[in-house]
Amino acid sequence: MDTVTVGIVDRGYDIYIGEDILTKTGCLCRRHNTGRKAAIITNTVVSGLFLEHLKSVLEEAGFTVYTIEIADGEEHKNLDTLKVIFDRLIEFGFDRSSLLLALGGGVVGDITGFAAATFLRGVPFVQLPTTLLAQVDSSVGGKTGVNHEKGKNLIGAFYQPRMVLIDTATLDSLPSREFLSGLAEIVKYGIVLDGEFFEFLSKNVDNLLKRDKSCLGRAIKRSCEIKASIVKQDEKETGLRAVLNYGHTLGHAVETLTGYKKFSHGEAVAIGMANAAKISESMGLSSRSDTERICATIKMLGLPLALPVFPSSAYIDVMLHDKKMKDGGIRFVLNKGIGDFRISQVDDLHRLLKISGIGD
């Protein structure tokens, strides 16, 4: 079992990574000073895979375990589902010492974290992420929340879990598109924050795609270390944490313009990263060979590179409505070579899109 510590003052916690560590959930939870009532919040897909096992190890450790199953899918990450969770917690007689456990991907993790942040003004919670994206990204760092009909993640709180337990065995059942979404985020860490890690990833694409446990474990651990270090320095995203949006500004535009149907999140981020790399090169921040290496790695993973064709005005409208907009332009994350970054205010969005082959 590997451990990564998120060293936030007063709210620090450990991330445990290993195969089959769900089995240890009970004894690891006992180390925390919580009550004996615990609720596992999961969804209808994940419950069939891991719920019974998790429930039994918690019961063996002395917890009285309740379960709340929510419907599967991003469309259920909303206030209606949150109300169902609150209703059940009240029904169970939960108090401020009771523990919530989020068993699932980013949707379950985000909504459970927000329920934990707000129920009785805050109860302890543990993240048990079961998608690769949740393991390397959403379960770490304390961003919790739900969507509103006017936009994604508009309602939320920064609220850190008591610990994160990453069981790499849970990835065996993950559909390939979901798996690739996580790999795109892993590659992102390498491109903007750790050149050696990028090198390791690009040399191990086959092993990663085969879900080789040792290679994957190493990639997950390094990703968590990188995210933990950024979160420690800028927990509430007042500056540095924005680096994690690399590839996401264009990626979100792609998702919005294609109605969240054509591309998965990871595919959209991959397109965003490939084009951010081209833009970085055009600004003199990186070389042609850096861009080629980034694009080659994305391609080897089987992820797309080209922006879908829409008028540049459509891209600009979407990007300006994105919450990363600042004073009319956007804050755009660029790669400096491979392994470093710069965040630049970009006002001439037409030029930026032209570099990516959009517009005339």
Ligand X SMILES: NC(=O)c1ccc[n+]([C@@H]2O[C@H](COP(=O)([O-])OP(=O)(O)OC[C@H]3O[C@@H](n4cnc5c(N)ncnc54)[C@H](O)[C@@H]3O)[C@@H](O)[C@H]2O)c1
Residues 135-154 that bind ligand X (CB under 6 A): 137-138, 141, 143, 152-153
Site map for ligand X, 63-102, x if CB under 6 A? ---------x-x--x-------------------------
Closer residue to ligand X in complex, CB, 43/280:
43
Q: Which residue of 133, 136, 226, 349 would you call a contact of ligand X, by CB under 6 A?
A: 133
Closer residue to ligand X in complex, CB, 46/303:
46
Closer residue to ligand X in complex, CB, 43/249:
43
Instruction: Let me know if 252 is a catalytic residue.
Output: yes
Helices (H), the chain: 25-30, 44-46, 52-60, 79-91, 106-118, 132-133, 176-193, 195-203, 205-209, 213-233, 248-257, 265-282, 288-300, 312-321, 349-355
CA 233-236-241 angle, to 5 degrees, is 55
Q: Which residue of 22, 29, 38, 46 would you call a contact of ligand X, by CB under 6 A?
A: 46
Stretch that binds ligand X, among 10-18, 133-141, 157-165, 346-354 (CB under 6 A): 133-141
Contact status: 103 vs ligand X (CB under 6 A)? no
Q: Please give the C-alpha separations between residue 101 and each of 33, 121, 191, 322, in angstroms, as whole numbers.
A: 15, 17, 32, 31
Instruction: Let me know if 265 is a catalytic residue.
Output: yes
Question: Which residue's C-beta sits nearest to ligand X?
Answer: 106
Can you state the angle between helices 288-300 and 265-282, rounded to 10 degrees? 170
Closer residue to ligand X in complex, CB, 59/172:
172
Q: Which of 121, 150, 261, 288 is catalytic?
A: 121
Least Å distance between CB 103 and ligand X?
Answer: 9
CB 89 within 8 A of CB 119: yes
Instruction: Let me know if 152 is a catalytic residue.
Output: no
Beta bridge partners, 148, equal: 151
Selection from 236, 238, 322 nearest residue 272 by Cα = 322
Instruction: Let me know if 248 is a catalytic residue.
Output: yes
Instruction: Let me know if 121 is a catalytic residue.
Output: yes
Q: Which residue of 22, 68, 107, 192 would you call a contact of ligand X, by CB under 6 A?
A: 107
Side-chain half-sphere exposure of 300, counting CA atoms within 13 A? 17
* Both tokens assigned to 57: 């190890």
Sign of the Cα torsion 40, 46, 48, 52 reads negative
Stretch that binds ligand X, among 58-66, 103-111, 279-287, 341-349 (CB under 6 A): 103-111
Least Å distance between CB 50 and ligand X?
Answer: 7
If phi over 0 gives left and psi between -120 and 50 gives alpha, with beta otherwise, what is residue 178?
alpha
**Which residue carries 């990574």 as its tokens?**
17
Q: Which residue of 68, 117, 134, 220 would you call a contact of ligand X, by CB under 6 A?
A: 134
Q: Please give the C-alpha separations between residue 205 and each of 77, 86, 210, 227, 276, in angstroms, as whole numbers.
A: 32, 43, 9, 21, 21
Q: Which of 76, 222, 252, 293 is catalytic?
A: 252
Q: Which of 265, 278, 281, 335 is catalytic?
A: 265
Residue numbers annotated as active site: 121, 143, 185, 227, 237, 241, 245, 248, 252, 265
* Residues in touch with ligand X (CB under 6 A): 43, 45-46, 49, 72, 74, 77, 104-108, 110, 130-131, 133-134, 137-138, 141, 143, 152-153, 170, 173-174, 178, 181
